[in-house]
Structure 1
Amino acid sequence: MAATSVPGPIAPFDDADIDAEELDGADDGGSGELYEHFRFTVDKGQQLLRIDKYLVTRLEKSSRNRIQQAADAGCIIVNGKPVKSNYRVKPLDDIRIVMDRPRYELEIIPEDIPLDIVYEDDALLVVNKPAGLVVHPGHGNYSGTLVNALAWHFRDNPDYDVSDPRLGLVHRIDKDTSGLLVVAKTPDAKTHLGKQFFNKTTKREYNALVWGVPSPSVGRIEGNIGRNPKDRLQMAVLPPDDPTGKHAVTHYEVLEDFIHVALVKCVLETGRTHQIRVHMRHIGHPLFSDARYGGDVILRGERNGSYQKFIGNCFELCPRQALHARTLGFVHPDTGEEMFFTAPIPADMTALIEKWRAYTKNSGK
């Protein structure tokens, strides 16, 4: 179950929780979603007691120190608001513990899945994820995920426990989105990197092919994002007064105009689930080949037979949303050095873009 977005995407507990209602298992590149792992309702007769003392008797394998760290990270929520470890629980308080990832229901089995490692040192790893690879294990995807691949990569590292939420992926991207992700190899690194994502100091740039040509060519999209009340598998821009919506801002720039579609650059100011996909659809420009948000049908251009065949060939070239997390920048948690990485657009999207370039040239427009 996705919980309220709160500061600090780090929760230092050993175990995980109830099932998360994942969509594709990820978001468009941030730490905007936190997931409820534990929930307690305080008894009517409960005396006032510090919450760290209260929880240490209810959470197996969790020390008071780790509970205090979780509180400092904003991952202990009481009656809808994050609290510190000195908060005194009261009768009927609703206590939730949230983490930055859904529960791993089963043991994570290391799997020899190739990883495109862009950079690695003692504190972190940057990986270029291919489209089609699920990030976290979850409903229907208990193997073959990026986490399984990381378990294999770190199989000889005694300090890396793939099930430890203090380590691992700091942010997520959708299954069918390609591009860069950063993985923390130490608790300090994850805390430091998590704060950068929360404070919006990271640099994240995406390339996308969208239906139509956005006007103006440079713009800012702001709209609160939450689950679509008419379709639980979708997210949507919700009315400003809807309490379930989360603040979201995307900046875009048209890089190339292909008459009926456009190559755009998207820069995330926030990181909500499916943010780019939802925001571009909201302004009338769904991502090309994005089945979930209506981009897998002809939305621009004449419906003659030759054009329909052309579009069908395009869908075959790139049978997933045309979205790539191209750049990622952050400050190294140990050295303080500014790091910046770029992953080239993958072959399927490159072939799609080249096909549209040729179409535009042949159209003489």
Structure 2
Amino acid sequence: MSDEPLIEDDDVTVLEARLEAGGARLDKALTEIFPTLSRARLQSLLVEGVVSRDGQTVSSGSAKAQPGLYTILLPPVASATPAPEAIPLTVLFEDADLIVVDKAAGMAAHPAPGCETGTLVNALLAHCGTSLSGIGGVARPGIVHRLDKDTSGVMVAAKSDRAHAGLSALFAAHDIERTYLALTRGAPSPERGRIETLIGRSSSDRKKMAVLRSGGRNAITDYVVQRLYGLPAKAGGAPMAARVACTLHTGRTHQIRVHLASKGAPILGDAVYGSGSPTAPVRAAIAESGLTRQALHAAVLGFAHPVTGEPLRFETAPPRDMATLERLLAEL
């Protein structure tokens, strides 16, 4: 089997090839079956956790290769250098080293195929000019972490290389306070708890993430149900919806969306993980609110300033679509 792309879209390119004999270093062996990728590129992909063998993630290039079917999920690469765009930003904090913004829903963090303009990077290039950190690469200057395009809320970007390195270390060590607010179909049970699972690519749909029994990467989310909506008349019945606060201890792709769905309480408006339909009153509330995305907002971001050491903490309220939906849910 060759390493020609099996799937290619705006989100991911999937390469697959079979290794018949093992024994050599994994990174070296992979260069034989994926000739379009350099050894250095393969080593980077292994560290990123996007290489798997027979569905199990492999991450050590120095480990001995085992025979099997290897899959690589190539992240999108922007086709051109992003240009500055005068897009309004809600700036919460800014100094010579970093900038904190309240990202609007519908804005991608950085350019990618199919979404080359209108991103946070384009806005930051216009706002910050040449002061934006270049460590993130040509397509992702200043970007240290990401929010999904349709998730609103607090994001920090680096304006200096020293801030970029410091912030990256904080995120890698999970030494960051991150709390999200979600409106869910039904409510997770119990009303307070910790979800700790392995998260990786779904074997049935490689464009989605899923809770796995083995492989993947460890993911931890603490959650608290803050309010229930549409309570049943009879005791013991399930509510129609809930507001749930989620605190991240790891930062896996789509972590909160996957974890809440795994508890039977997917986020309202989530077209990818929101399997099953909300009740008719909730559907009517969603339509009236104008919500066209997952009802997820990054409400709190706290960290020590990577240069000065000053403790920083930022908190923002959900934008109008989520606020309107919550008001309508409260009337159920």
Farther-moved stretch of structure 1 (225-234 vs 121-130)? 225-234
2:245 corresponds to: 265
1:81 corresponds to: 60
2:11 corresponds to: 22
Tell me by how many angstroms 1:104 deviates: 2.8
Give the Cα separation in 2 of the matches to 1:296 and 1:349: 20
Query: Which is bigger in relative contact order (C-alpha 8 A, separation at least 6)?
Result: 1
- Whether 1:248 aligns to 2:219 is yes
Q: Deviations over 1:136-162 (max 9, x none)?
A: 11121111111111111123x366558
Q: Deviations over 1:25-47 (max 9, x none)?
A: xxxxxxxxxxxxxx987999xxx
1:222 corresponds to: 196
Indicate if the aligned counterparts of 1:113 and 1:149 stay in contact, CA closer than 8 A.
yes
Indicate if the aligned counterparts of 1:113 and 1:144 stay in contact, CA closer than 8 A.
yes
**Per the alignment, in what secondary structure is the counterpart of residue 192 of structure 1?**
helix
TM-score (norm 1): 0.67
- Whether 1:348 aligns to 2:310 is no
Q: Deviations over 1:11-35 (max 9, x none)?
A: xxxxxxxx99737xxxxxxxxxxxx
Tell me by how many angstroms 1:233 deviates: 2.5
TM-score (norm 2): 0.74
Change (3 A) 1:214 1:187: same
- Whether 1:134 aligns to 2:108 is yes
- Whether 1:175 aligns to 2:149 is yes
Between the aligned residues of both structures, percent identity stands at: 40
Give the Cα separation in 1 of the matches to 2:275 and 2:219: 21
Indicate if the aligned counterparts of 1:289 and 1:296 stay in contact, CA closer than 8 A.
no
2:207 corresponds to: 233
**Per the alignment, in what secondary structure is the counterpart of residue 292 of structure 1?**
coil
Q: Alignment length, in residue pairs?
A: 277
**Per the alignment, in what secondary structure is the counterpart of residue 247 of structure 1?**
strand
**Per the alignment, in what secondary structure is the counterpart of residue 169 of structure 1?**
coil
1:205 corresponds to: 179
Give the Cα separation in 1 of the matches to 2:125 and 2:275: 35
2:86 corresponds to: 112
Tell me by how many angstroms 1:208 deviates: 0.3
- Whether 1:277 aligns to 2:257 is yes
Give the Cα separation in 2 of the matches to 1:314 and 1:353: 9
Change (3 A) 1:164 1:106: closer
Indicate if the aligned counterparts of 1:237 and 1:278 stay in contact, CA closer than 8 A.
yes
Unmatched segments (≥5 aa) in structure 1: 1-18, 24-38, 45-53, 60-69, 84-100, 360-365
Indicate if the aligned counterparts of 2:125 and 2:132 stay in contact, CA closer than 8 A.
no
Give the Cα separation in 1 of the matches to 2:228 and 2:156: 32
Change (3 A) 1:316 1:229: farther
Unmatched segments (≥5 aa) in structure 2: 1-7, 13-26, 33-37, 51-57, 63-74, 232-239
Indicate if the aligned counterparts of 2:189 and 2:263 stay in contact, CA closer than 8 A.
no
Give the Cα separation in 1 of the matches to 2:194 and 2:98: 32
**Per the alignment, in what secondary structure is the counterpart of residue 333 of structure 1?**
coil
Change (3 A) 1:160 1:234: closer
Tell me by how many angstroms 1:271 deviates: 0.5
Give the Cα separation in 2 of the matches to 1:320 and 1:216: 26
Root-mean-square deviation (CA, aligned residues, Å) is 3.4
Change (3 A) 1:315 1:293: farther
Indicate if the aligned counterparts of 1:166 and 1:187 stay in contact, CA closer than 8 A.
no
1:335 corresponds to: 308
Q: Deviations over 1:227-278 (max 9, x none)?
A: 1111122111011x2x3x1110111001111131010100001001100000
**Per the alignment, in what secondary structure is the counterpart of residue 147 of structure 1?**
helix
- Whether 1:311 aligns to 2:280 is no
